[in-house]
A and B are shown apart, each in its own frame.
Chain A
C-alpha cells in the first residue's frame, strides 16, 4: 500500500527547533512536552578536536511497534500505510503506551489526559500537504516519503545511500525514521541515546501475570460450579421448593 518513513539528514540539521515549534503550533502540544524534539548529542573529544551534532527524535512509526499491543483499549493502532495512530476517543490515558515505547516518543497531554505523539501529520497528508516539520525545516534536514515508491527520496536514501535506523541489540522493531550523517554523527547519536526495551506499567504487569488469570479462574470456577449443579439438577430431577 504505502510505507511512510522519514529520513533525517544529520549533516544538515542545526538543532534550531523549528520543527518542534511548527509541530507544537499545528497540534497544540503543551509546554513541557513535544511530539518531536531535537536534543544535542553531547560533545565528544577534547579541545580542539571535537564533534557534536543533533538528534531529531520523534515517533518512528515502527514496523513492529511495541506500543500497539501495549494499549489496553486498542486506541493505538497501526494503519495500512505503516503509520501508528492514537484514536483519542478510545484513549483513557493509562500510560501503558508511553512506557512501551523504546524511543520515549510519547507523552500524556496533561490537559486532555490522553496519550499523544507524532502521527506524520495525518490530517495534513490527507490534504496533500507535507508534515509541518518537514515543510518548515530551514535546513531541509527532514525528508518524508513512501518507502514503497522507488522514485521517492526516502527510497533512494534508505536503500541506496545507507540511511540507518536507530536500533540497539536489545531493541530492533523496525523504526521508520532513518538517519544519514557522517559515521561520527551516527556514533554520537547512538552514544547519546539508545532505544530501551519496552516497559510494562505496574498495573499491566499485575494484570498480565496475575489478575487476568485470577479473574478467569474465579469466573470459570463459578461457572463450572453452576454447570455441575445444573447437571445434577437435570439428573436428579426438579424438586419443588417446599421439599
Chain B
C-alpha cells in the first residue's frame, strides 16, 4: 500500500504517479445521490417541457405557437399536460420531502450546508480566476476546491433557493391556496424561479456533459466514482480528506495484530 505522506496542498505529480492515480477510483457520490440527481434531471426536464407549453397567453408566453401545439397534442390535450405537470411536481415534492425528513441528520446537515453550498475563501478565488481563465486573462492556477467547486456550489445555492419557491408556488397553484391573488403571484414567482434555475442549469449541463475537463465528473454522476487523479486535480481538499480517512482505516485494519489492543 501506498505509504507516501498525504500532501497538504497539491504538488506536481510525476507522470507515473499520475497514471497510477488515474487507474484508481474513489467513491464520490452515494447511490442515493446519483439516483436523485437523475431523478431531478428527468423530472425537471419533463416539467420544463410541459410547463413551457402551459404558458399560452401572448403577453406571458416564451415559446412559439408550434411548440405549444406540438407538446399539447403529444400529451393528448393541454389539460392532460397540466395534469402531468402537476403529478410530476407533486411526486418530486413527495420524494424530496421524504428524503429530507429521513436524510436530514445523517446527511443533509453536513453534506448540504458545508459541502454543497458553503463558500470559503478558496471558492471566491476560484470563481475570480475561473472567469479570468475563460476570458484568457490570467495564468494563475485555480485554488483548491472541496468535493464541489465554487461554480457547482453557486449552482447548488441557486437550486436550493429556487426549488422551494417553485415547489411552494406550485402547491399554491395546484391547490389554489390563500386566495386568487396568492395564486396569481405564485404564477409569476414560479416562472421567475424556474427561469433562474434554467439559466444556471445551462451552465451546469454544459460543464457537466460537454466541457471535456469535467468529463470524469459527469461519469461520477453515473458510477458514483471518480478517478483519483481527477479528484486530486480538481477537488483536492476532498481528495485529501478522503485519503486521510482511507489511510486511517487502512492503518487501523492492517496494523492491528491479534494480541495488540486496538488503537482508538
Contact = CB atoms under 8 A, between A and B. Distances in A.
B203 interface: yes
B243 interface: no
Contact of B60 (A208, A214, A241): A208
A211 B192 contact: yes
B195 interface: yes
Contacts, number: 147
Interface in B75-110: 78-79, 82-83
A204 B176 contact: no
Contacts of A96: 57, 184
A201 B184 CA distance: 8
Contact of B212 (A69, A201, A238): A238
Interface in B137-182: 173-176, 180-181
Contacts of B134: 229
Contacts of B74: none
Contacts of B212: 233, 238-241
Nearest to A209: B59
A122 to B, nearest CB: 16
B79 A223 contact: no
Interface string B113-133: 000000000000000000000
A113 B206 CA distance: 41
Contacts of B187: 72, 92, 94, 203, 207
B59 A74 contact: no
Given A73-B78, A89-B79, A219-B198, A204 B183 contact: no
B195 A214 contact: yes
A213 to B, nearest CB: 10
Nearest to B80: A89
Interface residues of B, number: 50
B202 A222 contact: yes
B230 A206 contact: no
B191 A92 contact: no
B78 A215 contact: no
A183 interface: no
B233 interface: yes
Contact of A225 (B184, B203, B205, B229): B203
A95 B202 contact: no
A149 B263 CA distance: 99
Contact of B195 (A93, A200, A219): A219
Interface stretch (B1-9, B213-221, B254-262): B213-221
Given A71-B57, A90-B82, A226-B206, A241 B183 contact: no
Interface in A186-243: 200-204, 206-208, 211-212, 214-216, 218-219, 221-223, 225-226, 229-230, 233, 238-242
SS class, residues of chain B in contact with chain A: helix
B211 interface: yes
A14 to B, nearest CB: 34
A70 interface: yes
A226 B201 CA distance: 11
A21 to B, nearest CB: 25
A7 B93 CA distance: 51
With a 10 A CB-CB cut-off, give which of B187, B198, B212, B229 has the most chain A CB atoms. B187
A73 B199 contact: no
Nearest to B193: A215
Contacts of B58: 69
Contacts of A206: 188
Contacts of A241: 212-216, 229-230, 233-234
B255 to A, nearest CB: 33
A87 interface: yes
B18 interface: yes
A209 B79 CA distance: 27
A242 B226 CA distance: 13
A108 interface: yes
B70 interface: no
Nearest to A224: B202
B26 interface: no
Interface string B224-252: 00000110011000000000000000000
Interface of B: 18, 22, 54-60, 62, 68, 78-79, 82-83, 134, 173-176, 180-181, 183-185, 187-188, 191-192, 194-196, 198-200, 202-203, 205-206, 210-216, 229-230, 233-234
14 contacts: A71-B56, A72-B54, A94-B187, A95-B183, A206-B188, A207-B191, A215-B196, A215-B198, A222-B200, A222-B202, A239-B212, A240-B213, A242-B22, A242-B229
Given A72-B187, A241-B229, A241-B233, 4 more contacts: A72-B60, A216-B62, A218-B199, A242-B229
